[in-house]
A and B are shown apart, each in its own frame.
Chain A
């Protein structure tokens, strides 16, 4: 899997947008960008994924640069419950592919 680079920590004010960056300069053409998050002492939770187009769902938006070397996860209105470690992962989409986690970004949403 392509290596990703994320800032170790970020802070965000409650109600404001949280923008979490991820660099994946060695991404291959068949690799998708996935985002998961892990709230303390829980299993990871799937957020969103994309290939090259921007994606949006009820949880977040994913903005992928045109060269696909970086992406940004956007939580439009962060709440205290969004405090978690956010993991950006790039990998092929096939059914047997492993998911390996980097260090992620600890997002702290402050009141």
Chain B
């Protein structure tokens, strides 16, 4: 199946700093990418939909100024957590759908953010 890669897989940062997480589609072009957040023992929560070359669409309750999403190319989307706080500590997961792939989404390995 198609491969989606996230980097970094783990990151620890101090409160108040910003952290960037990258999501890459390695063997296909992704016109749409999705970002999820998952807290311990909970299901995945969709944060935003990212379309190449346009602004991301955020789900209700997700602060667009805090979670900056950029989808500048067909193979890369980035999520920047700005001014991170301990409550932003979570597992962040991206998924992507390609232009030639219908139906199934492919997910990255996830990035675990810990804010001290």
Contacts and interface: CB of A to CB of B under 8 A. Distances in A.
B95 interface: yes
Interface string A69-111: 0000000000000000101000001011011111110000000
Nearest to B49: A98
The listed residue with most A CB atoms (<10 A of its CB), out of B4, B32, B99, is B32
A49 to B, nearest CB: 6
Interface residues of A, number: 23
Interface residues of B, number: 27
Interface SS majority for chain A:
loop
A49 B44 contact: no
B103 interface: yes
Given A42-B110, A43-B107, A44-B107, A99 B43 contact: no
5 pairs of A and B residues whose beta carbons are closest in the complex = A43-B107, A101-B44, A46-B104, A44-B107, A101-B43
